[in-house]
Amino acid sequence: ETGVTQTPRHLVMGMTNKKSLKCEQHLGHNAMYWYKQSAKKPLELMFVYSLEERVENNSVPSRFSPECPNSSHLFLHLHTLQPEDSALYLCASSQDHHRDYEQYFGPGTRLTVT
């Protein structure tokens, strides 16, 4: 699991706050992903980056803003979130974003919006 790290592990924020989630992968992968995991729901893919270019954006509200400055780092900037955004946010990476490569996940950031 140390291949993909995420900080912070826990975050509590008010609806008017701005915060950022950070992900770093040490696997030399070209693709990185943000997922939202909520209880009783399938894993929701939010964003996909390949070689620092966004290749997928799955109808995510604009209060979530991703940033990928290089192929090892991925950020998720958060602002004016809603309580229903409380969830576990998972970062993942894969060798490439093509369809047969498995993904490697970080431990996640447990986000609580108050």
Partner 1 sequence: AQSVAQPEDQVNVAEGNPLTVKCTYSVSGNPYLFWYVQYPNRGLQFLLKYITGDNLVKGSYGFEAEFNKSQTSFHLKKPSALVSDSALYFCAVRENAGNNRKLIWGLGTSLAVNP
Q: Examine residue 2 and tell whether it contacts partner 1 (CB under 8 A).
A: no
Residue 35, beta-bridge partner list: 45, 90
CB 3 within 8 A of CB 104: yes
Q: Which is nearer to partner 1, 1 or 84 (CB)?
A: 1
**What are the structure tokens assigned to 29, written together?**
């992968």
- Which of 36, 106, 111, 113 contacts partner 1 by CB under 8 A? 106
What number of CA atoms fall less than 13 Å from residue 33's CA on the CB side?
22
Residues from 16 through 35 that contact partner 1 (CB under 8 A): none
Q: Examine residue 92 and tell whether it contacts partner 1 (CB under 8 A).
A: yes
Taking the alpha carbons of 43, 61, 1, 26 in that order, is the dihedral positive or negative?
positive
Please work out the total of residues on this chain that contact partner 1, with binding judged by CB under 8 A. 22
Q: Which is nearer to partner 1, 42 or 69 (CB)?
A: 42
Residues 6+ apart with CB under 8 A from 101: 31, 94, 95
- Which of 12, 15, 43, 51 contacts partner 1 by CB under 8 A? 43
Which residues of this chain interact with partner 1, rule CB under 8 A? 1, 4, 6, 40-43, 45, 56, 90, 92, 97-100, 102-108
